[in-house]
Structure 1
Amino acid sequence: YQHWVIYVGDEDVIHVTDERDQSLSGSSMSVLKNRARVKRQHLKEVVGNNKWRVNNKYDHSYTPLPVKKVIQHAERWVGREVPYDVLESNCEHFVTWLRYGVAVSEQV
């Protein structure tokens, strides 16, 4: 299971995470709570020493929205509690919804 984030500049990302500031990965038990929070954090806080990469794999299927609009939209969600469901509303759904206007996830 891969954790998805939106890069917003200055080495910061916006992402869906659990209340303990841990990314919602396959090993996180917080997914059972069905709630998560949108946070802005430094990239290194989120990935630690793990490898990361830019993933625009849906660009061939969907037209990305303008970067400025994506970032502004993402920033409006920071601090909000959001529904979380590994099958229907996970971190990949959140990121693709921001980037393309369509919530997509092939991880499940």
Structure 2
Amino acid sequence: MAATGTPEPGDLIEVFRPAYQHWALYLGDGYVINVTPVDEGPPARFASAKSVFSGKARVRMQLLKDVVGNDTYCVNNKHDNTYRPLPVEEIIRRAESFIDQEVSYDLLGSNCEHFVTLLRYGQAVSDQANKAITAIGFVTVAAGAFSLLGFLRSRSRERQY
């Protein structure tokens, strides 16, 4: 478990997984709160990926070292310049009220990053989701353009014969 920065209660923790980033919120004394698949026992490496397919997640309080495993993490309160963090006591109180609760999980609208930013700022924000939505929009527009070009090309061939 390699780390960048010493977490303080209320800090956002970004865990670098092989294919994505997992997010947790530091509670103190080595513990974090994060969302995991409903049926998960011990922390899983692809926890968020499993939740995508079930549409549900469970909020768990776990040791940071167990959540991170062999991956790396950093303290990343990246939205502090955009949103004012809530008072630490309120962040922790709100976080603790979710422990062991089942929550809905949606990669684009309600993921682990949305969850922890909602706790810290009162706003659910996910740069990962925004990037994915932008990529989906670009692919959709490109596919539409190629379809239109194909249609126009076939119409022009029809006119030639």
Shorter-chain TM-score range: over 0.9
Q: Greater relative contact order: 1 or 2 (C-alpha under 8 angstroms, separation 6 or more)?
A: 1
Identity percentage of aligned residues: 55
The Cα shift of 1:3 comes to 0.6
Residue aligned with 1:5, SS? strand
Do residues 97 (structure 1) and 118 (structure 2) align? yes
Partner of 1:10: 29
Residues 48-87 of structure 1, C-alpha deviations (whole Å, 9 max, x = no match): 1211100100001000001111011100100000000000
Do residues 24 (structure 1) and 32 (structure 2) align? no
For 1:4 and 1:67, locate their aligned partners in 2 and report how far apart those are by CA, in whole Å. 18
For 1:72 and 1:29, locate their aligned partners in 2 and report how far apart those are by CA, in whole Å. 28
Residue aligned with 1:3, SS? strand
Written as runs of structure 1 = structure 2, the 5 A alignment for 1:47-86 is 47-86=68-107
Which has the greater radius of gyration? 2
For 1:29 and 1:77, locate their aligned partners in 2 and report how far apart those are by CA, in whole Å. 20
Partner of 2:60: 39
Q: Does structure 1 retain, via aligned residues, the 8 Å contact 2:51–2:105?
A: no
Unaligned runs of 5+ in 2: 1-19, 130-161
The Cα shift of 1:31 comes to 1.2
By percentage of residues, which structure has more strand? 2
Q: Which moved more, 1:28-37 or 1:82-91?
A: 28-37
For 1:63 and 1:53, locate their aligned partners in 2 and report how far apart those are by CA, in whole Å. 20
Using the size of structure 1 for normalisation, the TM-score is: 0.93
Unaligned runs of 5+ in 1: none
Give the CA RMSD over aligned residues. Answer: 1.2
Q: Does structure 2 retain, via aligned residues, the 8 Å contact 1:65–1:101?
A: yes
Residue aligned with 2:123, SS? coil
For 2:92 and 2:120, locate their aligned partners in 1 and report how far apart those are by CA, in whole Å. 9
For 2:97 and 2:51, locate their aligned partners in 1 and report how far apart those are by CA, in whole Å. 23
Using the size of structure 2 for normalisation, the TM-score is: 0.63
For 2:50 and 2:59, locate their aligned partners in 1 and report how far apart those are by CA, in whole Å. 17
The Cα shift of 1:30 comes to 3.1
| Number of aligned positions between the proteins | 106
The one-letter amino acid of 1:15's match is N
